[in-house]
Structure 1
Amino acid sequence: MTEDNITQHIIDSLGGGHFEVADDNTFFFQGADNKFPFATIVTKDSESDSASKLNRPGVFRLNLGVGKETFRALFGEQEQASIDFAALDRLMPHPVYAKMYWVSVINPSDKTFETVKPLIAEALSLAAARDKRK
């Protein structure tokens, strides 16, 4: 999967949302609220987020905010210290935002992306529910 393929899939799923590109990173929002994205595609390390080694050529990370139950079903109470956050094509807790139930995958294959699609739908649904509560 490429960044463009993933972006197109999310755009096709948005139904009223939008995305913004800033500093080569893509942020996906539900509705008009630009405060908190439900998904991101990140292409660079930052001071606070470098565990994924995103500065490698051609490397990007898809990040999604899922529900607590989904997160725990995927990862249980796994210790963060045992995770290789630079591994390609592996669904894992987000290296910084796992406590907020964010998941990530670096350069997902087509097969892995198929398992991620329901998580994209869930992240969008949760964002829509938050938007309705406002």
Structure 2
Amino acid sequence: MKADDIITYCFDNYGYIDYRHTSYGQELFYRQGSISTFFLNILEFDTDDDNFSDLNHPDKYRVSLCIPSEEYNKLFSQLCPYDKKYVCYKGCDYTKPDIIMPHPVKSKEYFIQCISPSKLIFEKVLDNLISLSYKRARQEYLLKR
């Protein structure tokens, strides 16, 4: 799958989407009026403070989502141990494609990631996790309004 396929999927299946293109990738937010809440990020290049996934290669990208804590804990039964920089070092190879794993920097906030997911992993797991992230963002919006 290409990164744009995931963005298109989100536009085709969800409403109230605010899209932002950044110098490092793409971000999607649930937005109504002046309130927006994050639900999906596609990082296409490493940043100064996040180069764990070694993204500076053609067609390599990282999908990041924030899911509800209960769902995160179902996926990852133990809390992720952190080093002094709050990097999850649970033994994950953050460069390995097609695996759902804790986000290297934001797992403490219930973020997950997948590097360059295949269509199979997208259809088996990731589309459901995107739905959970979207619903979480909508709930957050409802609390803010």
TM-score scaled to structure 1, two decimals?
0.92
Q: Cα 1:16–1:65, aligned 2, differ >3 Å: closer, same or farther?
A: same
Q: Distance in 1 between matches of 2:13 and 2:22?
A: 21
The aligned residue for residue 26 of structure 1 is: 26
Runs of 4+ in 1 over 6 A off after TM superposition: none
2:54 counterpart SS class = coil
| CA displacement, residues 13-55 of structure 1 (integer Å, 9 cap, x when unaligned) | 2212221111141110101434x42110000111111110011
Amino acid at match of 1:70: E
- The 1-side partners of 2:67 and 2:120 are apart by 20
Work out whether residues 17 and 31 of structure 1, in 8 Å CA contact, stay in contact via their aligned partners in 2: yes
Matched, 1:38 2:39: yes
Which protein is bigger by CA-based radius of gyration? 2
1:97-116 to 2 correspondence within 5 Å? 97-114=106-123, 115-116=125-126
Point out where structure 1 has 5 or more consecutive residues left out of the alignment. none
Residue 9 of structure 1 corresponds to which residue in structure 2?
Answer: 9
Mapped contact 1:16–1:31 kept (Cα < 8 A)? yes
Percent identity among equivalent residues? 28
- Larger helix percent: 1
Higher strand share: 2
Please give the residue correspondences for 1:1-134 in structure 2 after superposition, counting only pairs within 5 Å.
1-32=1-32, 33-34=35-36, 36-77=37-78, 78-79=80-81, 80-81=88-89, 82-114=91-123, 115-134=125-144
- Superposition TM-score, scaled by structure 2 size: 0.86
Residues in 2 aligned to 1:13 and 1:26: alpha-carbon distance in whole angstroms: 17
1:57: Cα distance to partner?
Answer: 2.1
SS of 1:50's equivalent? coil
**Residues matched between the structures, number:** 133
Q: Quick one: distance in 2 between partners of 1:24 and 1:10? A: 19
- What's the CA shift string for 1:87-128, capped at 9, x where partnerless? 011111111110000110000011111111111111111111
Contact 2:94 2:104 in 1 (8 A): yes
Query: 2:24 touches 2:47 (CA, 8 Å); kept in 1?
Result: no
